[in-house]
Amino acid sequence: MPPYAPDALTRTQPRESQGELTPQAFVHHRPDLIRAALDGIPSDTVSHFVSSWNALPADAYVKAERPYRFRRYGKFHLSQDGLQQVSHGPFLQAKTVNKLSGGVPRHFAPLDDAVATSLALRAIVGALHDQLPGPHQDINACGIHQIRVTAVPGAEGDPAPEGMHQDGHRYVGQVLIRRAGVHGAQSRIYDLDRRLVYQSQLTAPWESIILDDRRVLHDASPVGVAPGTDLAVRDMLLVDFFADPALPAPSPRPLPKGPSHD
């Protein structure tokens, strides 16, 4: 089945060459994209990857009476040999793109080694990289964010406390890992004039949105609790793609399709 192709932004640029410059500034993929990438990977590897969201520490940079946001972060070089994790460091966004936390290095907990080396992670990043909606010859790095947002009755969780924003990267992949007991949490995309151009609820695991972070803004509406539920959980994998001059230049074909997603 083809990806959703919202037409709100499809006329911003012409298609110039297949796979290098697509007209969409974002694409919403059904779960099939990631499912196909994970095909062939042992099911216990995938379930271990998914269950690792159960062991995320609270995000210390979200000030709230009840911790509702949990996360880990890792940075990788996209090399011909695949994903190579680089030494753990703080995550920094510019103040211009994140008015709440920008300009402040945030020290998130590192990924577990089992996650950082997981075949599932490699397969998912490879699938997203193959679908980047624009030129990406200079992209040589990605950031991996595991994020859980929770809510309880009377206390919503905010997936984007900074509001409508850009992440300050080139492309961003947003992959739904788990959605349980959630009411709300619409993923929303805006043009650069801050007009809403697309919204959708990610409901099925492995549904994903890949966006051109320089051409659109995004946020997600608060996570609420579905009627009759005591706890809402929304787990997301975010993959930031960018060019890092401190890392080796990208290979002509990074992330070769290995046994993880042949």
Shorter beta-carbon distance to Fe ion: residue 59 or 167: 167
Gap between the Cα atoms of 106 and 52, Å rounded: 21
Give the number of residues in contact with Fe ion, rule: CB under 5 A.
1
Q: Measured from the CB of residue 178, what is the shortest distance to Fe ion in angstroms? A: 19
Q: Smallest Cα–Cα separation from 24: which of 184, 198, 250, 246? A: 198
**Interface pick for Fe ion out of 167, 207, 212, 240 (rule CB under 5 A):** 167
Interatomic CA distance for residues 212 and 104, integer angstroms: 24
CB of 213 to Fe ion, least distance (A): 8
By beta-carbon proximity to Fe ion, the closer residue of 208 and 260 is 208
- Beta-bridged to residue 150, according to DSSP, are 233
Which lies closer to Fe ion via its Cβ, residue 145 or residue 261? Answer: 145
Binding of Fe ion at residue 212 (CB under 5 A)? no
Instruction: Return the half-sphere exposure (C-beta side, CA atoms, 13 A cut-off) of residue 160.
Output: 20
Q: Does the footprint of Fe ion cover residue 59 (CB under 5 A)?
A: no
Hey, which residues does 232 pair with through a beta bridge? Answer: 151
Of residues 167 and 207, the one with the C-beta less far from Fe ion: 167
State which residue has the least CB distance to Fe ion: 167
Task: Tell me: does residue 158 bind Fe ion (CB under 5 A).
Answer: no
Interaction of residue 213 with Fe ion, rule CB under 5 A: no
Residue 218 beta carbon to Fe ion: minimum distance, rounded to whole angstroms? 6
Q: Which lies closer to Fe ion via its Cβ, residue 156 or residue 167? A: 167
Q: State the binding string over 115-154 for Fe ion (x if CB under 5 A, else -).
A: ----------------------------------------
Nearest to Fe ion of 167, 212 (CB atom) = 167
Q: Which residues pair with 77 in a beta bridge?
A: 84, 141
Q: Which residues bind Fe ion (CB under 5 A)?
A: 167
